[in-house]
């Protein structure tokens, strides 16, 4: 399988750009953790099944829960995900994928989404409570 990936900068070799089609292919093969950095309200409205919600404001605090995994960072249109990957490359010990176009492009391609809150959408609150104790 040929992976289409692109580096936006030569300075962060662990961060790459990928279109939703390649992110979906790697996700289906369990090679990537989907890290949704939107707000809980956005997550409830629509998200990719199995995506882990960690709102962007809590990424640094909760990075221990995903830093050792290969992740695809996802937001609504791609702006926050770009900041969370290229602006915070120190959060990822392995590869971090910036998903081009975010959820808007994912949905326009007809890929699967679900609505409502699930266990993966609530984990970040549990982890945050544990850290604050």
- Given a contact cutoff of 8 angstroms between Cβ atoms, the answer to whether 117 and 43 are in contact is yes
- As a whole number of angstroms, the distance between CA 74 and CA 103 comes to 7
- Whole-model pTM over 0.85: yes
List Cβ<8 Å contacts ≥24 apart for 82-88.
83/56, 84/37, 84/56, 84/59, 85/15, 86/8, 86/9, 86/12, 86/15, 88/59, 88/60
pLDDT band, residue 7 (cuts 50/70/90): low
113 against 14, higher pLDDT: 113
| pLDDT at position 132 | 85
| pLDDT at position 14 | 85
Each residue's pLDDT tens digit, 57-68 = 999 999 999 999
Which are the catalytic amino acids?
Answer: 75
Rounded to the nearest integer, the mean pLDDT of the chain is 92
Helix (H, G, I), strand (E, B) or coil at 61: coil
pLDDT of residue 3 exceeding 60, the answer is no
> What average pLDDT does range 25-49 have in this prediction?
97
pLDDT of residue 106 exceeding 70, the answer is yes
Q: Which fold has domain 15-132?
A: Oxidized Rhodanese; domain 1 (3.40.250)
> What average pLDDT does range 82-103 have in this prediction?
94
pLDDT of residue 1 exceeding 50, the answer is no
């Amino acid at each position: 399988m040929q992976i289409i990936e692109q580096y936006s900068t030569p300075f962060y070799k662990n961060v790459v750009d990928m279109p939703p089609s390649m992110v979906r292919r790697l996700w289906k093969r369990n090679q990537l953790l989907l890290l949704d950095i939107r707000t809980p309200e956005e997550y409830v409205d629509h998200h990719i099944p199995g995506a882990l919600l960690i709102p962007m404001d809590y990424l640094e605090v909760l990075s221990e829960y995903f830093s050792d995994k290969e992740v695809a960072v996802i937001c609504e249109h791609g702006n926050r995900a770009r900041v969370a990957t290229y602006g915070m490359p120190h959060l990822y010990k392995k590869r971090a994928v910036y998903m081009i176009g975010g959820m808007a492009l994912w949905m326009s391609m007809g890929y699967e989404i679900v609505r409502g809150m699930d266990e993966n959408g609530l984990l970040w609150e549990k982890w945050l409570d544990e850290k604050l104790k």
